[in-house]
Amino acid sequence: MRHDRSSALFAEAQRFIPGGVNSPARAFGAVGREPVFIIRGHGCRLWDVDGNEYIDFVGSWGPLLLGHCHPAVISALRDVLDGGTSFGAPTEAEVEMAQLISDLMPSIEMVRLVNSGTEATMSALRVARGYTGRDLVVKFVGNYHGHVDSLLVRAGSGLATLGISDSAGVPEGFASTTLPAPYNDLRSLEQLFGQHGERIAAVILEPVVGNMGCVPPRPGFLQRLRELCTGHGAVLIFDEVMTGFRVALGGAQELYGVTPDMTTLGKVIGGGLPIGAFGGRREIMESVAPLGAVYQAGTLSGNPLAVAGGLAMLRFLRDNPESYERIESSSARLQAGVMAAAEAAGVTLTSNRVGSMLTFFFTKQQVWDWDGASTCDTDAFGRYFRAMLTQGIYLPCSQYEAAFVASCHGDAEIDRAIECAGRAFRKAV
Ligand code: HOZ
């Protein structure tokens, strides 16, 4: 497989763009090679600028539950294009989107649309602080909530991949309002509430973490967290940027039966276009301007194109619930097949999967938190990644990101990925 054109583009990109990419994970640094430049996607397949074809298990980092260029999404986008792409004024589709989100996630009684997951988490924290009149926020080590200053403390995703535990440029005064806690560790959470309970405005978490690889909550963790927040008057925020409408139509909150006070959503409600949202209990959301004193705004918020793409995808998922069964069975086959291939090749591997989010960890221990994830052999992951890429399997380019299965991955694609994993384990790992 040749990558001459990608290589030339990357060289040129590095002259003008820091690291040659617009999001650090894409630089492929952690897997020891250069990125491939993508020219086209269709269904579960991608093509790069050198004409190589891949089966895509990234899906634009989560939102593409129906794959690339799903007809329902593309036709909705075409309809909007003919009528104009931005008005900075209310549209009917925004009302439909708010109603649909609230129907599918009933904990969201009111919702405000924004432009990215980062904006959603940043705004949700401001609302939680304004509503409670408190300053401190608890976040979990290895969870990633976008590049919000105070949430870059001990974050997963690209920071974990690059080994940056706390970003430069974040004033100590901001970082000190964040209390990091180990994920899935109730004792340390109880201690934090014991020490700072009166000052904690919010606890924010990925209810299933995707940004240190896929890490599910231990049984009872979310339930006890709910009790602690209620008992101390803190706002519980589920960051469902990855899990929303993916692990179940109603997100992780439906899957685990735990109701947050607020929820943040991201790219998934745009069907692949840039968008985000934060919402929750009416009483809390009434703090947001112009109803309340917490200011939040954005010219492109509720952009017609992004809203149309998201509405089309979410309606399709709502009206075709069998999509979830198909994705679940493909994901389970992939997990079982790759684990069996690793065992046959004598490669040490564990895996976590919640629905269509999954990660194979190059470690012998089951991963429940960042301490566990950080025991992975990332060099072995890099060799595996490269061997998969050259066979046409496009995976997230970090041990600390979840892979995603879409409704368009059929048996043939799953079987091919398993065969390629077997070869990668035997020859490269
Ligand atoms: N934070 C993203 C994945 N969890 C990275 C996405 C990107 O590099 O575009």
* Whether 343 and 195 share a structural domain: no
In a shared domain, residues 219 and 366: no
Ligand 1 site, residue 61, Cβ cutoff 6 A? yes
Is there a single domain that holds both residue 298 and residue 357? Answer: no
How far, in Å, from the CA of 48 to the mean position of ligand 1? 19
| Spatial CA neighbour of 213 closest among 30, 414, 409, 418 | 30
414 with 281, same domain: the answer is no
Q: What is the CATH number for 348?
A: 3.90.1150.10
Of 48, 239, 261, 369, which residue is the catalytic one?
239
Residues 367, 417 share a domain: yes
Number of domains in the chain: 2
The enclosing domain of 88 has a CATH number of 3.40.640.10
Question: Which residues neighbour 172 within 8 Å (Cβ) at sequence distance 6 or greater?
Answer: none
Find out whether 404 and 356 touch, Cβ atoms under 8 Å.
yes
Nearest-atom number in ligand 1 for the CA of 156 is 4
Is any atom of ligand 1 closer than 6 Å to the C-beta of 23? yes
The verdict on whether 239 is a catalytic residue reads yes
pTM over 0.85: yes
Q: Residue 317 — φ and ψ, nearest 5°? A: -65, -40
Same domain for 175 and 271, yes or no, is yes
Tell the burial category of 34 from Cβ atoms under 10 Å away from its Cβ (0-12, 13-18, 19+).
Answer: middle
Q: 305 and 326 share a domain?
A: no
Residue at which a domain ends, from 266, 290, 319: 319
Q: Which domain holds residue 162?
A: 71-319
Tell me, using a 6 A CB cutoff, whether residue 132 lines ligand 1: no
pLDDT tens for the chain, 429 residues long, are 999 999 999 999 999 999 999 999 899 999 999 999 999 999 999 999 999 999 999 999 999 999 999 999 999 999 999 999 999 999 999 999 999 999 999 999 999 999 999 999 999 999 999 999 999 999 999 999 999 998 988 888 777 777 776 788 888 888 899 999 999 999 999 999 999 999 999 999 999 999 999 999 999 999 999 999 999 999 999 999 999 999 999 999 999 999 999 999 999 999 989 999 999 999 999 999 999 999 999 999 999 999 999 999 999 999 999 999 999 999 999 999 999 999 999 999 999 999 999 999 999 999 999 999 999 999 999 999 999 999 999 999 999 999 999 999 999 999 999 999 999 999 988
Which residue among 56, 61, 157 is best mutated to probe the pocket of ligand 1, counting the most ligand atoms within 8 A of its Cβ? 61
User: Which residue, of 267, 298, 319, is where some domain finishes?
Assistant: 319
Are residues 328 and 307 both part of a single domain? no
Q: Are residues 247 and 132 in the same domain?
A: yes
Same domain, 223 and 78: yes
Say yes or no: CB of residue 157 within 6 Å of ligand 1.
yes
In this structure, are 233 and 99 located in the same domain?
Answer: yes
What letter represents residue 6's amino acid?
S
In DSSP terms, 113 is beta-bridged to 277
Residue at which a domain ends, from 301, 319, 337: 319
**381 and 416 belong to one structural domain:** yes
